[in-house]
Amino acid sequence: MKLPRRQLLVDPPAASSSDIAFILIIFFLVCASVQPETGLAQTLPRTEEKKERKQQSKNLEVSITPSSIILNGSPLQLEEFRKRITTALQAKKRAEDKVVVVKSTATTHYDHWIRVSQAIARAGGTVTLELQSERTITVD
């Protein structure tokens, strides 16, 4: 009697392999696109044209040039600036006094500027920008 034998080698169903490949593509695309971005949040005080002079005189002023950082008239490198700004801001008790006025030369690069901003933020300061504005004065 001939016994019925099952076929041992069976071809896998090939009809769904394209669906599987497609789902894998979508899986990797979704994973690649949901990488969260990293950054540095910065609080911007509202810009005002007229400032109270008494208030302004209490705020620290930092000037950033392409090669150095000037705090209280002393040119510093980043590491020294971090220490000095931390010490200076620790002495300030009110939030208004912790506002640091930052002036940059026109050619200061962004990567240098952002490092200084981060140092000020870590020391507890709030960065506010002092921008140069153009005015037309008519002389008779």
Select 66 or 75, whichever has its Cβ closest to another protein.
Answer: 66
- Cα–Cα distance measured from residue 58 to residue 98, given in angstroms and rounded to the nearest whole number: 9
Give the C-alpha distances (Å, rounded to integers) separating 54 from 50, 51, 57, 92.
12, 9, 5, 15
Shortest distance (Å) from residue 88 CB to another protein:
21
Shortest distance (Å) from residue 93 CB to another protein:
24
Select 10 or 44, whichever has its Cβ closest to another protein.
Answer: 44
The first and second tokens of residue 31, run together, are: 């994973």
Select 37 or 140, whichever has its Cβ closest to another protein.
Answer: 37
Shortest distance (Å) from residue 68 CB to another protein:
14
Angle at 67 between CA 103 and CA 113, to 5 degrees: 45
Shortest distance (Å) from residue 3 CB to another protein:
30
- Cα–Cα distance measured from residue 131 to residue 48, given in angstroms and rounded to the nearest whole number: 11
**Which residues in this chain contact another protein in the complex, by CB under 8 A?**
15-16, 18-19, 22-23, 25-26, 29-30, 33, 36-47, 64, 104-111, 113-115, 117-118, 129, 131
